[in-house]
Amino acid sequence: MNAHHLPSRPRPRRIGALAFATSALVLTTAAPALAHTEVSTSDSRALAKNVTLTFESEAEAEKAGFTEIRTVLPKGIGPGDVELKQAPKGWKLKRTDDGHTVGGPALALGENAEHSVVVRQLPDATSLAFKTVDTYEGGKVSRWIKVAPEGEPKPENPAPLLRVESAAAGGAPTASPSASPRPESEAPDSDGKSPSKAATSDDGSPWPAVGVIIGVCLVALAGGFVLFQQRRGSGTE
């Protein structure tokens, strides 16, 4: 009896691997990596005095350099508690109602914006969020203002976050000339308006979030296709 050779079919495992790889590629290309702004400190202990905070904003604009970095100070640090220590040449610090700006002549294309300030004293807290608005020559704005509740995933466009350690023995708060109570606020746009309803991406575009949704849908479809192939294969064996 002659055996009939049936056309070979791709195995379900191979199909699943191919589908997974395709979906992963879509996820990585649909949601491009975003630039970021970070903060570091010379002393991370609560109630530490004369602490240097260094802020660095990664350049992302393709046709312009930074001209200004605006920072909203967290509760416990007032505008009068901050002095400029280091900044790009020609940049100056200007105090605002809820923080300060550091800016000046536009930086070279692709150059990160880095500056340092000295804070009179860190507050007694476990973490400090410094909501930041980066402005480029020509008016492009990137907002790093989102703060996730404790235990939740890191949000898109996160505000620079500083983790604070326990205070040293004998540490005590020092009276501040500008420590009057004030509510936490969103960092404003360059025109002074609140960006609380800003788009999900740093340039006002919702595409990163849409790309993630599309990628998740493709992963679900790939899984369903693999299950279908497995059931089909078991039925013909």
CATH code of the domain containing 111:
2.60.40.2230
In 3D, which of 103, 182, 181, 189 has the Cα closest to residue 145?
189
Mean pLDDT, residues 2-25 taken together: 49
Helices (H), the chain: 12-30, 207-236
Helix (H, G, I), strand (E, B) or coil at 102: strand
pLDDT at residue 14 greater than cutoff 70: no
pLDDT tens-digit series, residues 36-78: 899 999 999 999 999 999 999 999 999 999 999 999 999 999 9
Cβ count within 10 A of residue 97: 9
**Residue 95's beta-bridge partner residues?**
100
pLDDT: which is higher, 227 or 72 = 72
pLDDT, position 102: 98
Q: Are 176 and 120 in contact (CB under 8 A)?
A: yes
Structural domains of the chain, count: 1
pLDDT, position 152: 85
pLDDT, position 105: 98
pLDDT: which is higher, 36 or 35 = 36
Q: Is residue 226 part of a domain?
A: no
Q: Is residue 216 part of a domain?
A: no
In 3D, which of 50, 187, 43, 44 has the Cα closest to residue 126?
44
Cβ count within 10 A of residue 180: 8
Q: Is residue 74 part of a domain?
A: yes
pLDDT, position 151: 81
Q: Which domain does 150 fall in, by range? A: 37-163
201: which DSSP letter?
S
In 3D, which of 102, 72, 71, 69 has the Cα closest to residue 85?
102
> Largest Cα–Cα distance in the chain?
99
Q: Is residue 92 part of a domain?
A: yes
pLDDT tens-digit series, residues 83-111: 999 999 999 999 999 999 999 999 999 99
Q: Is residue 131 part of a domain?
A: yes
Amino acid at 138: G
pLDDT tens-digit series, residues 186-225: 444 434 444 433 333 344 444 444 555 555 556 556 665 5
Q: Is residue 233 part of a domain?
A: no
Instruction: State both tokens at 35.
Output: 């630039």
Q: Is residue 58 part of a domain?
A: yes
Helix (H, G, I), strand (E, B) or coil at 33: coil
Instruction: State both tokens at 132.
Output: 């930041």
168: which DSSP letter?
P
% of the chain exceeding 90 in pLDDT: 51
Q: Is residue 88 part of a domain?
A: yes
